[in-house]
């Protein structure tokens, strides 16, 4: 293969996973457990993606809301890991500590939890490394190198320069389908309201913590902009797609400005922001068009199902959805796989269910297993 002189040829791997969010973590560990030599490339310096750096810190349920566990495997290992070195509020029925029981009735019986994004992120390094995955931090995958529709590997930009890592299979777990989009896989863009969340505490929170010992709720979300349904979206601002640098910059500036305006109304000696998000909190940026779609239809079955999940939304308690393997790839690109919130799940119920943490772990685990056996 011919390279531009500026690109340094590095090692070949069986599987290269791009993106160290929940999906990429599950994919890389799964591929490694299936015997593959795996490289995980992450552009930030911490693992967890939106779940940690995006300050989401709420692991949606692994159960269906009627007492049935729907997702097992790495998704369950990860919920347990989120609680291993830090607080949790997993109900005791599901093996939680019971020290900080869920407050809302809605979650009293669900296999879900709040977690510390910082402690969980540190634990994710340990998990991934213990499973034999090689990691490159602070390294941005730029372009897949294609031979027709076969991906030969990935070009990665870092302080080392431009490097090429060869791969038999590549998993795109970027959250915005950057790799598959650039490889020529058809993709669809999402639309997002402006949401900007931080974790904050003030003196009232400190007093409450001392009184109750409930460390779980000390990290308080403070959001600017919109809720999930568009209430609070800034007037005059269009919907955000997140697929151009201008769009992301607009989002970041608007979000931070709005947060700062709020902060100016507070007693400056009486609060602190724990961390700003390190990535845009956009729910649906871009997803692939796969061999088939995941539409989250209760009871729909697939011959190539990779597993089932429930629905985190209270109105959809008790629903059971199978996820088809065909949602993870486009048949014209046989060694490229999607994991996490970029799978082929059209707008509506499919994308809503596919994008939450447990489902991302499930599709990541499946993508890793498939890629390892290619
Ligand atoms: C406002 C908001 C609220 C939410 N609330 C919840 C909730 O309460 N519970 C829940 O379960 N889910 C929630 N979600 C959804 C959930 O957090 C995410 O969809 C999920 O964590 C996505 O995981 P992922 O691994 O697919 O992608 P991401 O978390 O986006 O991970 C992608 C990773 O890839 C890296 N990356 C991207 N491009 C490159 C590149 N070119 N090279 C190298 N690395 C790259 C990124 O840095 C990141 O680490 C929420 C999402 C939002 C935005």
If asked whether residues 346 and 212 sit together in one domain, one would say no
Residue 228 alpha carbon, nearest atom of ligand 1: 1
Q: Is the pLDDT of residue 103 over 90?
A: no
The whole-chain average pLDDT of the chain stands at 96
Q: Are residues 201 and 256 in the same domain?
A: yes
Supply 316's token pair: 């959809």
Query: Are both 76 and 211 inside the same structural domain?
Result: no
Q: Choose which residue among 27, 29, 55, 56 to substitute to test ligand 1 binding: the one with the highest number of ligand atoms within 8 A of its C-beta.
A: 56
Residues 31 and 56 in one domain: yes
Q: What is the CATH number of the domain that holds 363?
A: 3.50.50.60
Q: Is the CB of 21 under 6 A from ligand 1?
A: yes
Q: Are residues 307 and 269 in the same domain?
A: no
Give the per-residue pLDDT at 311.
Answer: 97
Asked if residue 280 is part of any domain, the answer here is no
* Domain contains 5: no
Which atom belonging to ligand 1 lies closest to the Cα atom of 342?
26
Distances (CA, A) of 21 to 12, 108, 137, 263, 346: 23, 27, 12, 29, 21
- Does 181 share its domain with 309? yes
Distances (CA, A) of 51 to 162, 279, 291: 29, 10, 28
- Whether residue 2 is contained in a domain is answered as no
Q: What is the mean pLDDT of residues 83-112?
A: 91
Question: Could you give the 3-state DSSP secondary structure of residue 78?
Answer: helix
**Residue 27 in domain:** yes
Query: 360 alpha carbon to ligand 1 midpoint, in Å?
Result: 9
CB of 114 within 6 A of ligand 1: the answer is: no
Tokens representing 358? 């447990």
Centroid of ligand 1 to alpha carbon of 318 (angstroms): 25
Task: Give residue-wise pLDDT tens across range 277-299.
Answer: 999 999 999 999 999 999 999 99
Can you give the residue range of the structural domain that contains 340? Answer: 12-190+285-372
Q: Does 3 fall in a domain?
A: no
Cβ(330)–Cβ(288) below 8 Å: yes
Whether 118 lines ligand 1, by a CB cut-off of 6 Å, is no
322 and 249 in one domain? no
- Do 206 and 182 reside in the same domain of the chain? no
Sheet with strand 195-202: strands edge to edge: 220-225, 195-202, 271-275
49 lines ligand 1 (CB under 6 A): yes
Q: Taking the chain, what is the end-to-end CA distance rounded to the nearest angstrom?
A: 21
In the block, tokens 């692994």 appear at 62
Answer yes or no: do 158 and 218 share one domain: no
pLDDT at 5: 62
Best mutation site among 107, 174, 337 for ligand 1 pocket (most ligand atoms within 8 Å of CB)? 174
Is residue 123 within 8 A of residue 135, CB to CB? The reply is no
**Residue that finishes a domain, picked among 275, 310, 326:** 275
| Helix (H) or strand (E) run with residue 168 in it | strand 161-172
Residue 79 near ligand 1, beta carbon < 6 Å: no
Among 18, 19, 29, 140, name the best residue to mutate to test ligand 1's pocket (greatest count of ligand atoms within 8 A of Cβ): 19
Residue 50 CB partners (closer than 8 Å, separation 6+)? 21, 22, 56, 175, 279, 281
**Alpha carbons 189 and 288: distance in angstroms, whole number:** 9
Alpha carbon distance 56, 199 (integer Å): 10
53 & 159 share domain: yes
Q: Are residues 79 and 104 in the same domain?
A: yes
Structural domains counted in the chain: 2
- 152 and 242, same domain (yes or no): no
Question: Would the pLDDT of 169 be above 60?
Answer: yes
pTM: 0.97
Last residue of a domain, one of 275, 298, 319: 275
Q: pLDDT tens, 351-367?
A: 999 999 999 999 999 99
Burial class (CB in 10 A: 0-12, 13-18, 19+), 208: middle
Is 271 inside a domain boundary?
yes
pLDDT, one tens digit per residue, over 202-234 is 999 999 999 999 999 999 999 999 998 999 999
């Amino acid at each position: 293969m011919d390279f531009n002189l500026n690109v340094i040829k590095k090692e070949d791997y069986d599987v290269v996973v791009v993106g160290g969010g929940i999906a990429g973590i599950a994919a890389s560990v799964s591929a490694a457990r299936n015997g593959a030599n795996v490289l995980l490339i992450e552009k930030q310096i911490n693992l967890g993606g939106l779940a940690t750096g995006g300050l989401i810190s709420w692991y949606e349920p692994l159960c269906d809301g009627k007492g049935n566990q729907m997702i097992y495997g790495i998704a369950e290992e990860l919920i347990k890991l989120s609680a291993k070195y830090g607080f949790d509020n997993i109900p005791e029925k599901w093996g939680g500590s019971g020290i900080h029981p869920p407050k809302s009735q809605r979650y009293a019986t669900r296999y879900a939890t709040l977690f510390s994004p910082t402690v969980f992120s540190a634990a994710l390094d340990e998990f991934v490394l213990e499973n034999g995955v090689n990691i490159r931090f602070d390294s941005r995958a730029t372009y897949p190198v294609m031979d027709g529709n076969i991906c030969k590997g990935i070009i990665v930009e870092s302080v080392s320069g431009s490097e090429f890592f060869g791969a038999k299979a590549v998993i795109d777990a970027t959250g915005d389908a950057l790799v598959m989009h650039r490889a020529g896989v058809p993709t669809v863009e999402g639309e997002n309201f402006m949401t900007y969340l931080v974790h904050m505490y003030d003196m009232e929170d400190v007093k409450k913590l001392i009184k109750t010992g409930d460390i779980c709720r000390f990290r308080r979300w403070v959001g600017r902009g919109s809720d999930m349904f568009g209430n609070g979206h800034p007037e005059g601002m269009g919907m955000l797609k997140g697929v151009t640098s201008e769009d992301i910059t607009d989002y970041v500036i608007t979000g931070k400005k709005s947060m700062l305006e709020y902060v100016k109304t507070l007693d400056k000696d009486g609060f602190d922001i724990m961390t700003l998000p390190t990535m845009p909190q956009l729910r649906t940026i871009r997803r692939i068009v796969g061999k088939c779609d995941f539409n989250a239809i209760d009871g729909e079955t697939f011959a190539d199902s990779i597993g089932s999940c429930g629905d985190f939304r209270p109105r959809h308690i008790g629903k059971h959805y199978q996820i088809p393997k065909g949602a993870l790839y486009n048949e014209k690109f046989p060694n490229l796989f999607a994991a996490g919130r970029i799978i082929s799940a059209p707008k509506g119920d499919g994308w809503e269910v596919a994008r939450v943490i447990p489902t991302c772990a499930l599709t990541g685990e499946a993508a890793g297993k498939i890629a390892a056996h290619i």
